[in-house]
Chain A
């Protein structure tokens, strides 16, 4: 007996919610960034589960492209975090409430 599509979707929903909780609760921008990665990967799991259920590889293409976009996003996001840390000398998301340098 194979694992049903819904099992994958529920695991994916749980992982996405863990990411949501991380973004809402944590104040370290690096951990918030990791939670965003968690959410991206939960959505990727949904794509893969649907691709398998529909017998198609189109979902793979979306996962592949979202992997690429995630890599680009991480590069720019970490560069921004490092730039903020260099100018502000602090790394608490509650303190980053102004756009002034």
Chain B
């Protein structure tokens, strides 16, 4: 067993265990903490896949910014009692939900196993030319990523800034309206 497979198996086990933790913990704070572990293990996956920049961005944006926001809201609403005290409106919801999810996972994995060779074949037939290639060995993937982001994908990159401005405005509007309502 090579080091690659060992690292992959360890990170995969960590990712799946923390993923189950997100939906299994009763307390929302524990869910948020295991989501952080999950996001960090995905950053490790990205490192294994040679994605240094994306791994760093994952840690900074997700584990750093988004999860801090999550933890703020979870602690502010302190919602750990609500789900225990009230019973499910639909009694079979839990069972059917789990069964449907397992069927989904089985279907997706089955399709992957049946069509096992599609992606490598496409790569072998020279459809690589459609994609931005990683630059020469030694210069690093991050340089190629920068070239792709600021040349081929410049317009989508600019549009994301508009999305962020819209999100900020939306958060401000939502926050202010609810404060005005609670004052009267």
**Interface of A toward B, CB cutoff 8 Å:** 1-3, 5-11, 13-22, 24-28, 30-31, 33-35, 37-38, 41, 44-45, 48-58, 60-61, 63-65, 67-76, 78-83, 85-87, 90-92, 94, 101
A30 and B73 in contact, given A18-B101, A44-B42, A61-B148 (Cβ under 8 angstroms): yes
Nearest-neighbour CB distance to chain A for B180, whole angstroms, equals 11
B residues in contact with A20, CB < 8 Å? 100-101, 104
- A64 to B54, Cβ gap below 8 A? yes
**Interface of B toward A, CB cutoff 8 Å:** 2, 4-5, 8, 12, 15-16, 19-20, 22-23, 28, 31-32, 35, 38-39, 42, 45-46, 48-51, 53-54, 57-58, 61-62, 65-66, 69-70, 73-74, 76-77, 79, 82-83, 86, 88-89, 93-94, 96-98, 100-102, 104-105, 108-109, 112-113, 116, 119-120, 122-123, 128, 131-134, 141, 144-145, 148-149, 152-153, 156-157, 160, 163-164, 166-168, 170-171, 174-175, 177-178, 181-182
Nearest-neighbour CB distance to chain A for B108, whole angstroms, equals 4
- B128 to A54, Cβ gap below 8 A? yes
Nearest-neighbour CB distance to chain B for A99, whole angstroms, equals 15
Q: Across the two chains, which residue of chain A brings its CB closest to B35?
A: A34
Query: What are 17 A-B contacts defined by CB distance under 8 Å?
Result: A6-B112, A13-B108, A16-B105, A31-B31, A37-B62, A38-B35, A48-B49, A53-B119, A55-B131, A55-B133, A58-B132, A61-B153, A67-B61, A71-B65, A71-B167, A79-B170, A94-B88
Q: Which of A24, A55, A85, A91 contacts B97 (CB 8 A)?
A: A24
Classify the secondary structure of A's interface with B. Answer: helix
Classify the secondary structure of B's interface with A. Answer: helix
- A21 to B145, Cβ gap below 8 A? no
Nearest-neighbour CB distance to chain A for B29, whole angstroms, equals 10
- A15 to B77, Cβ gap below 8 A? no
Nearest-neighbour CB distance to chain A for B72, whole angstroms, equals 8
Q: Across the two chains, which residue of chain B brings its CB closest to A16?
A: B108
A21 and B98 in contact, given A55-B128, A56-B132, A71-B61 (Cβ under 8 angstroms): yes
Nearest-neighbour CB distance to chain B for A72, whole angstroms, equals 3
